[in-house]
Chains A and B, each alone.
Chain A
Amino acid sequence: MSPENYLYLAALLFTLGACGVLLRRNAIVVFMSIELMLNAANLALVAFSRMHGNLDGQIMAFFVMVVAAAEVVVGLAIIVMVYRARHSASVDDASLMKL
């Protein structure tokens, strides 16, 4: 098996995550789709790390995880706040960015 397959898998998962962001209205599901995309990127980084024979890719993936953790904390807090204020977690309901 060629190790490129990991990359194909990562691309596939990334695309799936993107479609999730575009299609789902529930903010939490959108968020989960973003996590899926991040994980896909991590998989690619790990595969690259193996291909190049050094650990820098893993370090990158590690940082992605840390940042994703921070992002999840803040993002979920925002979702909770929005839900409190509007009693809805739909991203379409918060459509105030227009006239």
Chain B
Amino acid sequence: MESLIGLLVGAPLFGAAVLLLGGRRLDRVGHWLATGLAAVSFVLAVVLFFDLLEKEGEDRALHQHLFSWVPVADFQADVAFQLDQLSMTFVLLITSVGTLIHLYSVGYMEHDERRRRFFAYLNLFLGAMLLLVLADNYLLLYVGWEGVGLASFLLIGFWQHKPTAATAAKKAFVVNRVGDVGLAIAILLMFTTFGSFAFEPVLGSATEASEATLTGIGLMLLLAACGKSAQVPLQSWLGDAMEGPTPVSALIHAATMVTAGVYLITRSGAIFNAAPDAQTVVVVVGAVTLLFGAIVGCAKDDIKKALAGSTMSQIGYMMLATGLGPIGYVFAIMHLVTHGFFKAGLFLGAGSVMHGMNDEVDMRRYGGLRKHMPITFVTFGLAYLAIIGFPYLSGFFSKDEIIYAGFSKGGTEGWILGGVMLLGAALTAYYMTRIMLMTFFGEKRWQPDANGHEPHPHESPLSMTIPMIVLAFGSVFAGFLFDSGEAFVHWLEPVTGLEHGDSPVSHGTVGLAATGVMLLGVAGAWWQYGRRPVPAVAPTGGLLTRAARRDLLQDDFNHAAFVTPGNYLTRGLVYLDHKLVDGVVNGTAASFGGLSGRLRRIQNGFARSYAVSMFGGAALLVAATLLMRAV
């Protein structure tokens, strides 16, 4: 059974290699090959899943040691896999959503002449992501981490002929580098502290290290997670990343890759549990991002960017939950999985809408689409209900659990966290209803595009609708399945641990409150966008709206805080280089040059002058000899 793990990772990587190296002759079959290999991974994952189910709770882990990567004395880097319940959850999510999105892309990218390359990158991403979640040490995890970063970069900039896409890809890459440095430092710290970077020795002996060290490692891990999961302060790349093809947004920037940060923190739970300060920072980051993303999502007219804000916000929920420690890990992962389903569904729906609307992304030019694309409307609607936490849909279970966990933190903290999350839930309901109303309800507002083509909204082909339908099913039933008999909690508990805090409010009350604020949000959105026609041109709006449209000034802040001082620093260094370094170098050269120019006069070319120096030298030698004899 263990050997299947390597195959699981290898299949998509093999696909990527074949597609990238195979050349043009694979253009006709490349996408089906990639989809097939993704499906192979999924089947293998299911087989392994049932294999795990047969084992007892504590022993549900498979290990496979492939080969020694860097065996140098104490530095032992192995390529080895570890498949436990946490990894299994991710593997199932990645391969299932991945396969569906491969299938969807077959239709979505049908007319793109570089489709083979696109599928190669998708496969590369799948392989790298599986490597990330299956690695049994941090170094191999880092390889996967960089691999998904690379795939993300390649896919955001896939339409590189668009300057915006190329810039967005670069931005994502650079911002991610900041986080990656954090991960690198964390791994180095682990190695110096524990003498290893494999999960087992590091996490097993986490409590032996000093708390300060653990806090340092934790904060560095958090930095890495912030970069990959688009959390404040490294959130700025996610919105721009929507320049990539929509399947990419669905797979990488909604369902899987951006949740890698949550995986990293959950996996390193032992370190965070022993470092309360780091946990507090995680909670704060999560809470801030939660509201930040929600506010941005409320203001955006670009459907994908609004959804990107929502993604940020939802990952903020997960982050917050992981920051709560054993109270929240399970629910963070649970929300991650349900979010993977419904957010992927939402993105695929958005892609389907764009597909039918000549790639228009401005929601103010949609309107009334429910009649033209019924399947998209229904699946999008179900995912919508799931995300706003409509009772007994998947989002309801997972989000309520997180809010309850927040209250369980206890004390003032618990009230603050619970309140923030309820506010977030209201905002979620508001912006999602806004998207729903602007896109599918009301009058049609579409206009001819720049080339004079009137869009003719139509339902997407079968290869696109099937994944949407499957994901809609997931969105509806996943939460119910997970929650029935607390199956998911029992499944993950051996890995992450579970505690029950003492919540000042009961479970039912939280559910009621969440539903209440959800209804409030929906009503607010209906009040603003449902009662009267949506203006085709965005109104100026208040200060907050305008700031939110600019992503709450994140880019302005980054520019002012990093780019401008960086420019000044560079200019200063250039000045120093010119004046000081070059001055010293040029001055030395000039002084030698001048000295040589003066010495050159001695070399006048007359043989007799040279003869004088020769005889003078001879005389000196004789003098020296006599002197030595005298002495």
Contact = CB atoms under 8 A, between A and B. Distances in A.
Interface of A: 18, 21-23, 25, 91-92, 94-99
B605 A22 contact: no
B615 A22 contact: yes
A61 to B, nearest CB: 20
Contact of A99 (B600, B606, B615): B600
Contacts of B603: 97-98
B604 interface: yes
B608 A92 contact: yes
Contacts of A94: 607
A91 B607 contact: yes
23 contacts: A21-B608, A21-B611, A21-B615, A22-B611, A22-B612, A22-B615, A23-B608, A25-B608, A91-B607, A91-B608, A92-B606, A92-B608, A94-B607, A95-B604, A95-B605, A95-B607, A96-B605, A97-B603, A97-B605, A97-B607, A98-B600, A98-B604, A99-B600
Binding site secondary structure of chain B:
helix
Contacts of B606: 91-92, 95
Given A97-B603, A98-B603, A99-B600, A18 B615 contact: yes
Contacts of A92: 606-608
Nearest 4 Cβ contacts at the A-B interface: A98-B605, A95-B605, A97-B605, A91-B607
Q: Tell me which of A21, A25, A94 has the highest count of chain B C-beta atoms within 10 A of its own C-beta.
A: A21
Nearest to B604: A98
A76 to B, nearest CB: 17
Contacts of A22: 608, 611-612, 615
B272 to A, nearest CB: 74
A95 B604 CA distance: 8
Interface in B573-631: 600, 603-608, 611-612, 615
Contacts of A96: 605
A96 B605 CA distance: 6
Interface of B: 600, 603-608, 611-612, 615
Contacts of A25: 608
A25 B607 CA distance: 10
Contacts of B604: 95, 98
A18 B607 CA distance: 14
A23 B606 CA distance: 12
Contacts of A21: 608, 611, 615
Nearest to A97: B605
B601 to A, nearest CB: 9
Contacts of A99: 600
A90 B619 CA distance: 26
Nearest to A95: B605
Nearest to A92: B606
B275 to A, nearest CB: 73
B626 to A, nearest CB: 13
Contacts of B611: 21-22
Contacts of A23: 608
A11 to B, nearest CB: 10
A22 B606 CA distance: 11
A99 B612 CA distance: 20
Most buried by A among B606, B612, B615: B606
A12 to B, nearest CB: 15
B614 to A, nearest CB: 9
Contacts of B607: 91-92, 94-95, 97
B500 to A, nearest CB: 92
A58 B605 CA distance: 38
Contacts of A98: 600, 603-605
A91 B610 CA distance: 12
Contacts of B600: 98-99
Contacts of B608: 21-23, 25, 91-92
Contacts of A91: 606-608
A37 to B, nearest CB: 10
Given A21-B615, A92-B608, A98-B603, 12 more contacts: A21-B608, A21-B611, A22-B615, A25-B608, A94-B607, A95-B605, A95-B606, A95-B607, A97-B603, A97-B607, A98-B600, A98-B604
B504 to A, nearest CB: 94
A94 B607 CA distance: 8
Nearest to A94: B607
Contacts of B605: 95-98
B598 to A, nearest CB: 13
Nearest to A91: B607
Nearest to B612: A22
Residue from B608, B611, B615 having most chain A Cβ neighbours under 10 A? B608
Contacts of B615: 18, 21-22
